């Protein structure tokens, strides 16, 4: 997108075409204006349109331009935070509600993919959180215990079983989460957008919201080409926010994350490397992730931005690390490389904001947005429809607060990743 092959990489090459949309030109009236065309905004549009609500979604660039078109494609249940810590931060009512909602969120993704026939390479064989050393193993065992206590379909796999499934002996074991899986992230959001349009939603791309104002008891959202007058505004622009809700971005610290995709692996290697196509990531602080796409390309990623010195440091590391994990991949070519911006909140938990009366939004997904964005989109739709009151939502209302030492912390993540990858101590 925007002629930048490092923005959406492999996903842009292999996703089915986006539905035809155009920039807003003129003044429209709707029940709900949605700002942002990622999982949250499009899911909200779909769920509202299905109930007969008149929805206009404004997307600054293209559907999936933000995190939705750039991510790894791991459909996770829950957040990074250990389940037992969440009620400690949010209180037991919100904590248990959030855990329940996010733990089951991958099921909603599967349901929507099936219901709307979305062609997005969905794989349902679970994810493997791979343990590095004894401390990693202790961590995943505790995480497994806590999720199992809540009835989740999770279990610990031995080092041998992990090696059989991944094709590498690098790990001391893994946590298999059968709720989870992988998909082609841009294909998924484009498919959701097609379903939303089919249900009656209007989507305008190339239409950044630049300002907003109150007109009587309605809101006017303006773009450079026109305006939308609506009762409600759903703010779904998350960490890629520009314009009126840029504060949502400033509340989070930037964690850059890159991916490289190999050329399709030969058939015999596909029998040993991820034959079950689980999505994987490890327990290191500067984590790595890997997964297969439908054509058998291995998508391998870690923390860092592919620009300036980062480009050569991270690329050299990726080649070394892949060779160490999978010696048979020595010398394999990369077919695509890209990176994106993950936003991290101070407590690694999402937020619900009421910016003004009937101007609401969820944000702060901390690198876990496929299933959460989908389910938060549905949840906010239910709130607007009056099915869920503010008190019934999975998060309390919080005010938007600028992250402290934001620039410094973001620079620290990138510098830390470059040091880890340059030193190569881990591989």
Site size with ligand FAD, rule: CB under 6 A: 41
CB of 139 to ligand FAD, least distance (A): 19
Give residues 386-425 in contact with ligand FAD (rule: CB under 6 A): none
Q: Which residue has the tokens 């959460």?
A: 372
The conformational region for residue 100 under phi > 0 = left, psi -120 to 50 = alpha, else beta, is alpha
Give residues 244-273 in contact with ligand FAD (rule: CB under 6 A): 257
Q: Kindly indicate which of the ranges 17-25, 45-53, 190-198, 337-345 contains the residues binding ligand FAD, using the contact rule CB under 6 A.
A: 337-345
| Strand-strand pairing, 74-75 and 181-182 | antiparallel
Cβ proximity of 292 and 10 under 8 Å: no
CB of 233 to ligand FAD, least distance (A): 11
Does 103 participate in binding ligand FAD (rule CB under 6 A)?
no
Q: Give DSSP secondary structure letters for 233-280.
A: EEE--GGG--GGGTHHHHTSEEEEEEEEEESPPPHHHHTTSSTT--EE
Does 237 participate in binding ligand FAD (rule CB under 6 A)?
yes
Alpha carbon distance 42, 189 (integer Å): 7
Given candidates 66, 78, 106, 181, which one binds ligand FAD under the rule CB under 6 A?
A: 66
CB of 78 to ligand FAD, least distance (A): 10
Residue number, 74 or 329, with CB nearest to ligand FAD: 74
Dihedral sign computed on CA atoms, order 189, 195, 197, 202: negative
Task: Give the Cβ contact number of residue 425 at 10 Å.
Answer: 8
Give residues 200-229 in contact with ligand FAD (rule: CB under 6 A): 208-209
Cβ proximity of 40 and 59 under 8 Å: no
Given candidates 172, 370, 380, 420, which one binds ligand FAD under the rule CB under 6 A?
A: 370
In the bound state, the residue with its beta carbon closest to ligand FAD is: 369
Given candidates 174, 241, 283, 418, which one binds ligand FAD under the rule CB under 6 A?
A: 241
Residue number, 177 or 238, with CB nearest to ligand FAD: 238
Given candidates 33, 53, 72, 220, which one binds ligand FAD under the rule CB under 6 A?
A: 72
Does 65 participate in binding ligand FAD (rule CB under 6 A)?
yes
Residue number, 140 or 233, with CB nearest to ligand FAD: 233
Give, in degrees to the nearest 5, the angle at Cα 6 between 366 and 74: 40
Give, in degrees to the nearest 5, the angle at Cα 49 between 27 and 341: 80
Q: Kindly indicate which of the ranges 85-93, 151-159, 266-274, 362-370 contains the residues binding ligand FAD, using the contact rule CB under 6 A.
A: 362-370
Q: Give DSSP secondary structure letters for 98-151.
A: HHHHHHSHHHHHHHHHHHTT--S--B-S-EEEE--HHHHHHHHHHHHHHHHHTT
Does 242 participate in binding ligand FAD (rule CB under 6 A)?
yes
Residue number, 62 or 172, with CB nearest to ligand FAD: 62
By C-alpha distance, which of 105, 68, 70, 104 is closest to 371?
Answer: 105
Give, in degrees to the nearest 5, the angle at Cα 179 between 274 and 293: 35
CB of 34 to ligand FAD, least distance (A): 9
For residue 66, the Cα-to-chain-centroid distance in whole angstroms is 9
CB of 348 to ligand FAD, least distance (A): 13
Backbone angles phi, psi at 204, to 5 degrees: -115, 125
Give residues 32-61 in contact with ligand FAD (rule: CB under 6 A): 35-41, 58-61
Task: Give the Cβ contact number of residue 64 at 10 Å.
Answer: 29
CB of 170 to ligand FAD, least distance (A): 20
Give residues 75-94 in contact with ligand FAD (rule: CB under 6 A): 76
Q: Helix, strand, or coil here: 405?
A: coil
Residue number, 272 or 335, with CB nearest to ligand FAD: 335
Binding site for ligand FAD (CB under 6 A): 35-41, 58-61, 65-68, 70-74, 76, 208-209, 236-243, 257, 340-342, 365, 367-370, 373
């Amino acid at each position: 997108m925007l002629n930048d092959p490092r923005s959406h990489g492999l996903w842009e090459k292999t996703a089915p075409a986006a539905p035809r949309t155009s920039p807003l030109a003129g003044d429209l009236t709707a029940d709900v204006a949605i700002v942002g065309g990622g999982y949250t905004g499009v899911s909200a549009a779909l769920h509202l349109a299905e109930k007969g609500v008149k929805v206009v979604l404004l997307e600054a660039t293209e559907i999936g331009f933000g995190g939705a078109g750039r991510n790894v494609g791991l459909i996770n249940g829950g957040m990074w935070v250990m389940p037992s810590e969440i009620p400690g931060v949010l209180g037991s009512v919100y904590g248990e509600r959030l855990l329940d909602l996010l733990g089951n969120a991958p099921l909603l993704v599967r349901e929507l993919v099936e219901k709307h026939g979305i062609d997005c390479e969905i794989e349902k064989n679970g994810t493997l959180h791979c343990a590095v050393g004894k401390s990693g193993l202790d961590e995943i065992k505790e995480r497994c215990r806590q999720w199992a206590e809540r009835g989740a379909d999770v279990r610990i796999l031995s080092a041998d079983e992990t090696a059989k499934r991944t094709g590498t002996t690098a790990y001391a074991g893994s946590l298999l989460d059968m709720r989870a899986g992988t998909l082609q992230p841009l294909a998924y959001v484009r498919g959701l957008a097609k379903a939303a349009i089919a249900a009656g939603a209007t989507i305008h791309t190339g239409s950044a919201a630049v300002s907003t104002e109150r007109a009587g008891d309605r809101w006017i959202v303006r773009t450079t080409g026109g305006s939308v007058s609506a009762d409600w505004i759903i703010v779904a622009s998350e960490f890629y926010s520009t314009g009126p809700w840029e504060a949502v971005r400033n509340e989070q610290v930037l964690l850059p994350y890159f991916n490289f995709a190999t050329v399709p692996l030969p058939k015999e290697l596909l029998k040993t490397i991820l034959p079950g196509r689980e999505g994987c990531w490890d327990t290191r602080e500067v984590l790595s992730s890997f997964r297969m796409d439908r054509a058998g390309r291995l998508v391998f990623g870690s923390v860092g931005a592919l620009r300036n010195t980062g480009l050569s440091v991270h690329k050299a590391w990726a080649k070394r690390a892949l060779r160490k994990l999978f010696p048979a991949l020595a010398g394999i070519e990369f077919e695509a490389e890209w990176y994106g911006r993950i936003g991290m909140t101070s407590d690694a938990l999402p937020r619900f904001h009421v910016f003004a009366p009937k101007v609401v939004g969820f944000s702060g997904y901390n690198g876990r947005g496929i299933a959460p964005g989908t389910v938060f989109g549905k949840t906010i739709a239910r709130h607007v429809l009056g099915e869920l009151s503010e008190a019934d939502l999975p998060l309390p209302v919080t005010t938007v607060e600028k992250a402290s030492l934001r620039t410094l912390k973001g620079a620290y993540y990138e510098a830390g990743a470059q040091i880890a990858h340059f030193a190569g101590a881990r591989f």
